[in-house]
Chain A
């Protein structure tokens, strides 16, 4: 973590590597709701390893609270690993879809130009409506809503955030360690206690 101030709330990206088990989502989710913390975004997806799931969770909290929460998530049976990072430490994206009436776009060249300027791409073009897609950070997807609103935006939806940790060499090596039935000497299991200011690696 770059931000050393433990009392300031900011956005954190929590990355959770888990087994793909029924009920784990609840186990993870209640750790937030128990402390009355709102989950702003939650995405579950496959990870770089087959059979291992990856949660991306975004919350706004202090580093201190996030550290404790990360530990409590990692403690759950079925959770392999938890990392938490500020926005500066991750590459993140969200995807958004916009449905607008096709006749408006056809009639008004300005709309097409606005869409192009905002990096939107047509996904579906029908006689009655057209669906555009953009991928980017919050301001970018938000911006296009404002742009399209005067032209009869019919529907809007934005996906959860997905994030890649800049300072991570993947999960393969860690998983191999976890699969060892006996922890051998070289495995440093509580390295987080050394480097808790950096990433949470317990």
Chain B
């Protein structure tokens, strides 16, 4: 092709060369070892796409069907790979379509660099075609954002963007580049990765005295309890965490974002915290004497009513973000730092113990929960299928080795409660923002980020219809994503709340769905729908062993509720089993 004859400049030129701002963007991505971009072209970002045209051998650009899909895919990619997700979008509507994903990535600490096109600098502020003040729109939902109006800024700004996105507590960064800056030729002197910004401290020097105080508290504790969150994975400290847990012998429970950092079947993994978490971890939060919080932020869905949360316990909080320490729960010992550094220091000072009696208490509560909830959910005797039994069958077939991506709602709670996770970075869900429509695009991104793993997207019938256009992305790229729709013909979580707290006034939760298998078929994706238990296992097997993507719809019982449940405004120890 004629357009491909243009020689590509070397990525790190020794001497100054004249290139366009758009090429500088691409060279920066290569220097940052980016391999995949999720994006959608448009007027104001065309020069970048033009430059990209010469680098399609080095950069895999995934054309999504909607910018929201693009950014959720970038999130899925970042979450499965541990790398920075990169997203392209054009100005105006392209940029505003990123906002939900930015908010999601901000609250769930996902590293992203989003590059948006912008109108020519001389048109800024004039209501030009597809002009939107995206900097001000995204300021509350980005870790950092910046508008480039001169091409010579691009190398340094992108270096800064990647550094900020991935260091400290990760988060999304948006770089808005005006079209003139993309087109402008400038003297490029090479790309310098950013390692330091004087007005940004991603992590502190660890203060040893706090490690000592924390260890003393832990060593004296009779009923210590570990709560861990996604921070363990973001800090790549899974091994350090496991060593700490095993030496200390302390029972450990996870927030939804932390699932998988310690394998599900680890003997000290006592389950999930929060509103739909496990019985024991919630009740015993209000009985433990020392609470060790690691890389988690005491979200209201975890704590329930704050003034009745763990009042008897002394809290040790390990976090890289100092504003999280003492934000919601008063802290006895603040351990500000990267848990990759603080955990080994703490492990060294804690005594090797075996809290069998205390662990036994968790098991006792677990037995009660099995009897009251889990048995019927995973092995129902009713005619209709439950969400739990689908997840249970899936566990058996994947052995817990798959990446499970979930959407938002009842199926999310069920999948996160019951999915067996053997490996870290295996649970991808929208935890903080609760973004319906997250799962399908995130699963696409997750597969690009971890190509050797099976990716199963567990989605409700409501959430699937929010971003189902991304089936087109699957069709075009051939990416292998297993789509498991748990269809209860309701917006189930809202319906559950209406049943429990609004006298069964089912206001607009009765949602009709298209024939999902036919929809998939329209996109060239194989699919199946099952409504009988005897078909379930073989259908799941077919989905998993199918070469390429597959959509499996499972019709589940309509009005099941997710239990246990900590009703809003109640203490965690007031958790209801039914």
Residues of A within 8 A of B (CB): 18-19, 22-23, 26-27, 30, 34, 68, 71-72, 74-75, 77-80, 175, 178-179, 181-183, 185, 187-190, 192-193, 202
Contact = CB atoms under 8 A, between A and B. Distances in A.
B199 A189 contact: no
Interface stretch (B8-16, B221-229, B273-281, B319-327): B319-327
B1 interface: no
Contacts of B33: none
28 contacts: A18-B199, A23-B146, A30-B139, A34-B140, A71-B322, A74-B323, A75-B322, A75-B323, A77-B143, A77-B164, A77-B200, A78-B199, A78-B200, A79-B199, A80-B198, A175-B198, A178-B199, A181-B195, A182-B196, A185-B205, A189-B201, A189-B204, A190-B204, A192-B322, A193-B207, A193-B210, A193-B334, A193-B336
A75 to B, nearest CB: 5
A178 B144 CA distance: 19
A65 to B, nearest CB: 11
Interface residues of B, number: 28
A55 B325 CA distance: 25
Given A30-B139, A34-B140, A72 B323 contact: yes
Given A179-B198, A181-B196, A190-B336, A27 B139 contact: yes
Contacts of A189: 201, 204-205
Contacts of A19: 199
A75 B199 contact: no
B145 A183 contact: no
Given A30-B140, A193-B334, A23 B145 contact: yes
Contacts of A190: 204, 207, 322, 334, 336
Contacts of B382: none
B293 to A, nearest CB: 16
Contacts of A202: 322
Contacts of B140: 30, 34
Contacts of B512: none
Interface string B140-175: 100111110000000000000000100000000000
A80 B198 CA distance: 7
B197 interface: yes
Given A183-B204, A189-B204, A80 B199 contact: yes
Contacts of A178: 198-199, 201
A89 B195 CA distance: 37
Residue in A75, A179, A182 with the greatest tally of chain B CB atoms within 10 Å: A75
Nearest to B324: A71
A26 B325 CA distance: 25
Contacts of A68: 323, 327
B323 A71 contact: yes
A191 to B, nearest CB: 9
A77 B197 contact: yes
A150 B196 CA distance: 60
B198 A75 contact: no
A188 B207 CA distance: 8
A71 B331 CA distance: 16
Contacts of B146: 23
A78 B144 CA distance: 9
Given A74-B323, A181-B195, 19 more contacts: A23-B139, A23-B146, A68-B323, A71-B322, A75-B323, A77-B144, A77-B197, A77-B199, A78-B144, A78-B199, A181-B196, A183-B204, A187-B205, A188-B207, A189-B204, A189-B205, A190-B322, A190-B336, A193-B325
